[in-house]
Amino acid sequence: MTYQFSTLTQPQAETIAYTWHYEGDYAFYNMEADEADLTEFLDAEQRGQSVFAITSDTELIGFVSVARTDDETLDIGLGMRPDLTGRGSGRAFLSSILDFIETTYAPRRITLAVAAFNKRAIRLYETCGFKQTGSFQQPTNGSVYDFVRMERKESPQNV
């Protein structure tokens, strides 16, 4: 599958926020689960040019947000459409995101945070070169949850 990246539009943000509903424990990732996150995601001004829609043949597949934390580091957050998760396409999806980020921003380091219960995502990130660098607790979705920090450094062939 070939993926295209473009700045997330308001209709796309609303589709993700109001129609993407994950099952079971993964409902944690539903945008409506946290009012502050929902408000921020739906605010086009706050999103600016830092949240990208990921499409394939014009079909919305996922999104990625990027934030430069320093001269060398880009922090990302991402999501895949719920009906596509758990079907073995995560590696191609994440690889396309990493290619896009490396081509567009050329960071020396990419960081992310993932809910500690999400072992499936943690395995995927590790498969794509991320290492666990720490953990923290964060209030969200009406409680406090454990998160894992992960980091991927530029590969030696790109140095």
Measured in degrees and rounded to the nearest 5, phi and psi for residue 84 equal -100, -10
Distance CA 54, CA 72 (A): 24
pLDDT in tens, 14-66: 999 999 999 999 999 999 988 988 999 999 999 989 999 999 999 999 999 99
CB atoms within 10 A of CB 149: 16
CATH number at residue 16: 3.40.630.30
- pLDDT for 64: 98
Residue 49 inside a domain? The answer is: yes
Question: What's the number of domains the chain is made of?
Answer: 1
Q: What is the pTM of this model?
A: 0.92
Domain for residue 97, yes or no? yes
Q: Could you tell me if residue 119 is inside a domain? A: no
CA 96-71-135 angle, to 5 degrees, is: 70
| Host domain of residue 50 | 4-113
* Residues in a beta bridge with 131: 151
Distance CA 99, CA 151 (A): 16
Examine the pLDDT at 133 and tell me if it is beyond 70: yes
Residue 158 is assigned to a structural domain of this protein? no
